[in-house]
């Protein structure tokens, strides 16, 4: 139903009118966008109210950054742009980090922000929350648009949706000046001005010769490897990807958010033999994974001395040769590319050389066996392995739960230890290794999927979005937050030898984060052993009630920067 209003009647025939508020809402609904994540205030408070009244789910957060992260992950999980709604200048800036994050991670998202009066902003006359938001957003997102007239709202939103989801997805900024909302126009004309976007992310079919070149390269390999990235998870081409990997017989390595596309326990999974496969493989096929820092740029020590050939499947042609030569670029959307590869493989694809499979499998089994006893300890205070050992079992028993994960040691160790069994169930810090996605992701995932969410959070990581536990309680979301509380960043044991202030990486010792959620009516638990932790997490997920578990971790257990300490610059002058 279009949202219309009847103007106070001065003539005999009342004119049906609509306005900017209603057109924005109608345009969203017309395009199947039924959820908005945001923070209210001038000039968008009424927009949120009216959207809620019109049946859109409007989730009000405590900080725009978290609303933005919720929208970003909604985009990843659904392939529809997640929408974040913010107020002018400061609210917009708070949301902007998430928009840049969405762009970097290739998640479709639209940041819709109210803004102040153009005439005053452009003359820099000091308007309320004055800022040239469009100019500031532009370099940080995939596209940025401003709508000045009510009759352009339909086109403006259509452009934003297309820009967000077509090609390589990303973040889009849509600037909505305050004056726009109150602009009135004829309701029928308004309705006609709306655009339902047809085929917003058209299939991009790869060229047949590119597909053949890729398969020839893969077939020629003595030690082939497939790397699955989060682009492959985003594509929702799960069956095709599984069939392709299985038909090829090639060992696969899932990047963090691609875990579960095929189960981590799959016989071809090389996750536990990562360093071996990177070093010793001779042909590497990347599917929706980029050769950025997370893969050591495809060169250097991690990749060993053996010559490598890279095959890359990606929707973005500019991705090819970004770090090293790509001998077989396949450009297209992942679903179409994998379908084409499968079709062109034929019925008798040769299995990879048996000695390579044996090398990978025995390395993997050896590493898994080495880890196993460490995961079974019941130490108190806990170490990471004891705590993660029980969470690994919880996820195994509840494979459809969504795992949110951030921190340093808490992230790196959980990624390695917790096996995933289904696609798009692990969501984490992504390309930037950013702290702060935790509660936004948890809320977005709970809303979009209706599944239980388990958020495994470093105590520092949690602090970036911790206030949103009120939001989780307010909306009664099935979220269980487990805080790995080691009293600080990386470790809780640093000492400042030069003065009375605490060291820069430590927090209040023995903090009880579980008490925080009790302030909002949620369940708080202090867990000091793996047994207690397991009981508490199972009870939380069974209850479906907001729960925060303070998992007491040995403050000395972590290491500097987790697994990426090598990225820290070193001072030659520093006194030891």
Ligand X SMILES: Cc1ncc(C[n+]2csc(CCOP(=O)(O)OP(=O)(O)O)c2C)c(N)n1
Contact residues toward ligand X (CB under 6 A) are: 407-410, 433-436, 458-461, 484, 486, 489-490, 558, 562
Q: Does 486 bind Mg ion (CB under 5 A)?
A: yes
For ligand X, the closer of residues 312 and 465 by Cβ is 465
199, 207, 208, 231, 288 from 337: Cα distances, Å = 18, 9, 10, 12, 10
Provide the 10 A C-beta neighbour count for residue 202: 12
User: Among ligand X, Mg ion, none, what does residue 405 contact (CB within 5–8 Å per kind)?
Assistant: none
Question: How far apart (Å, rounded) are the C-alpha atoms in residues 137 and 112?
Answer: 11
Closer residue to Mg ion in complex, CB, 435/442 = 435
268 binds, among ligand X, Mg ion, none (CB under 5 to 8 A by kind): none
Q: Which residue is nearest to ligand X (CB)?
A: 458
Site for Mg ion in 96-115 (CB under 5 A): none
Residue 435's binding partner among ligand X, Mg ion, none (Cβ under 5 to 8 angstroms by kind) is ligand X
Please state whether 417 falls in left (phi above 0), alpha (psi between -120 and 50) or beta: alpha
For the bound state, the minimum distance from the C-beta of residue 412 to Mg ion, rounded and expressed in Å, comes to: 12
Give the number of other CB atoms < 10 A from CB of residue 485: 30
User: Which of these segments, 63-71, 348-356, 379-387, 459-467, binds Mg ion (CB under 5 A)?
Assistant: 459-467
Interaction of residue 466 with Mg ion, rule CB under 5 A: no
Interface mask toward Mg ion for 404-443; x: CB under 5 A: ----------------------------------------
Cα distance between residue 220 and residue 223, in whole Å: 9
Closer to Mg ion by CB, 127 or 459: give it. 459
Handedness of CA 83, 87, 89, 94 (dihedral sign): negative
Of 528, 566, 570, residue with least CA distance to 549 = 528
Work out the number of other CB atoms within 10 angstroms of the CB of residue 278. Answer: 21
Go through the chain and tell me how many residues it has: 576
CB-neighbour burial class of residue 494 (10 A; exposed 0-12, middle 13-18, buried 19+): middle
Minimum gap (Å) between residue 93 Cβ and ligand X: 15
Nearest CA to 88 among 45, 131, 137, 140?
A: 131
Q: Given the complex with ligand X, which of 17 and 564 has the nearer CB atom?
A: 564
Q: Mutual orientation of helices 384-397 and 530-543 as an angle, nearest 10°?
A: 30
The residue (of 108 and 488) whose beta carbon lies closer to Mg ion is 488
Q: Which helix (H) or strand (E) segment is 414 a member of? A: helix 409-417
# residues contacting Mg ion (CB under 5 A):
3
Q: What is the CA radius of gyration of the chain?
A: 25
Shortest Å distance, C-beta 97 to ligand X: 8
Least Å distance between CB 382 and Mg ion? 13
Task: Determine how β-strand 328-331 pairs with β-strand 453-458.
Answer: unpaired
From the list 457, 459, 468, 532, which residue makes contact with Mg ion (rule: CB under 5 A)? Answer: 459
Binding characters for Mg ion, 504-543, by CB under 5 A (x = yes) = ----------------------------------------
Taking the least distance from each CB to ligand X, the nearer of 317 and 565 is: 565
Q: How near is the Cβ of 412 to ligand X at its closest, in Å? A: 8
* 555 contributes a contact to Mg ion by CB under 5 A: no
* Smallest separation (angstroms) from ligand X to the CB of 100: 11
Which is nearest to 391 in space by CA: 274, 282, 553? 553
Distance between CA atoms of residues 447 and 472, nearest Å? 10
* Strand runs labelled E in 68-156: 82-86, 109-115, 143-146
458 binds Mg ion (CB under 5 A): yes
181 binds, among ligand X, Mg ion, none (CB under 5 to 8 A by kind): none
Least distance (Å) from ligand X to the CB of residue 512?
16
Of Mg ion, ligand X, none, which one sits near residue 433, judging by CB under 5 to 8 A according to partner kind? ligand X
Q: Considering beta carbons, is residue 343 or 508 the nearer one to Mg ion?
A: 508
CB closer to ligand X, 31 vs 410: 410
d(CA 169, CA 219): 31
Q: Which is nearer to ligand X, 246 or 560 (CB)?
A: 560
**Min separation Cβ 456 and ligand X, Å:** 10
Q: Which residues bind Mg ion (CB under 5 A)?
A: 458-459, 486
């Amino acid at each position: 139903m279009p949202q219309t209003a009847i103007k106070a009647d001065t003539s005999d025939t009342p004119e049906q009118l609509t306005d900017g508020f209603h057109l924005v809402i109608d345009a969203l609904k017309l395009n199947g966008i039924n959820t908005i994540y945001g923070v209210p205030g001038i000039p968008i408070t009424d927009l949120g109210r009216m959207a809620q009244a019109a049946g859109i789910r409007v989730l009000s957060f405590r900080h725009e950054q978290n609303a933005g992260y919720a929208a970003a992950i909604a985009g990843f999980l659904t392939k529809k742009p997640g929408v974040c709604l913010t107020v002018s200048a400061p609210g917009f800036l708070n949301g902007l980090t998430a928009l840049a994050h969405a762009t970097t991670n290739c998640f479709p998202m639209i940041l819709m922000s109210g803004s102040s009066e153009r005439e005053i902003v452009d003359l820099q006359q000091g308007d309320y929350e004055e800022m040239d938001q469009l100019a500031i957003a532009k370099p940080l997102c995939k596209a940025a648009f401003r709508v000045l007239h009510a009759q352009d709202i339909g086109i403006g939103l259509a452009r934003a949706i297309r820009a967000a989801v077509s090609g390589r997805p990303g973040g889009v900024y849509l600037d909505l000046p305050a004056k726009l909302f109150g602009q009135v126009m004829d309701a029928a004309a308004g309705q006609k001005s709306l655009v339902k976007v047809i085929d917003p992310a058209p299939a991009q079919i790869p060229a047949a010769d590119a597909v053949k070149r890729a398969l020839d390269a893969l077939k020629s390999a003595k030690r082939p490897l497939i790397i699955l990235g989060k682009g492959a998870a985003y594509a929702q081409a799960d069956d095709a990807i599984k069939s392709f990997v299985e038909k090829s017989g090639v060992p696969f390595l899932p990047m963090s958010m691609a875990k579960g596309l095929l189960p981590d326990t799959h016989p071809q999974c090389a996750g536990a033999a990562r360093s071996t496969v990177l070093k010793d493989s001779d042909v590497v096929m990347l599917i929706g994974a980029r050769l950025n820092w997370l893969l050591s740029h495809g060169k250097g020590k991690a990749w060993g001395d053996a010559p490598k050939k890279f095959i890359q499947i990606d929707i973005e042609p500019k991705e090819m040769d970004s770090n090293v030569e790509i001998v077989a670029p396949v450009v297209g959307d992942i679903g179409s590319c994998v379908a084409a590869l499968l079709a062109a493989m034929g019925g008798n694809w040769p299995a990879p050389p048996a000695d390579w499979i044996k090398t990978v499998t025995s390395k993997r089994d050896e590493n898994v066996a080495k880890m196993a006893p460490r995961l079974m300890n019941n130490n108190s205070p806990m170490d990471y392995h004891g705590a993660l050992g029980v969470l690994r079992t919880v996820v195994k028993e509840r494979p459809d739960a969504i795992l949110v994960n951030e921190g340093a040691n808490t992230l790196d160790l959980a990624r390695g230890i917790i096996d995933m069994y289904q696609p798009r169930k692990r969501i984490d810090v992504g390309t930037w290794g950013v702290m702060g996605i935790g509660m936004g992701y948890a809320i977005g995932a709970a809303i979009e999927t209706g599944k239980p969410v388990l958020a495994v959070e470093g105590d520092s990581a949690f602090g970036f979005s911790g206030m949103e536990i009120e939001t989780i309680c307010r909306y009664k979301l099935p979220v269980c937050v487990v805080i790995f509380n080691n009293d600080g960043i990386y470790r809780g044991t640093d000492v400042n030898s030069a003065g009375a202030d605490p060291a820069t990486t430590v927090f209040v010792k023995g903090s009880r984060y579980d008490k925080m959620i009790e302030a909002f009516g949620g369940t708080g638990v202090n867990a000091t052993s793996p047994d207690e932790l397991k009981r508490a997490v199972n009870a939380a997920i069974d209850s479906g009630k907001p729960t925060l578990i303070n998992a007491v971790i040995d403050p000395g257990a972590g290491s500097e920067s987790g697994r990426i300490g090598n990225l820290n610059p070193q001072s030659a002058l520093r006194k030891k």
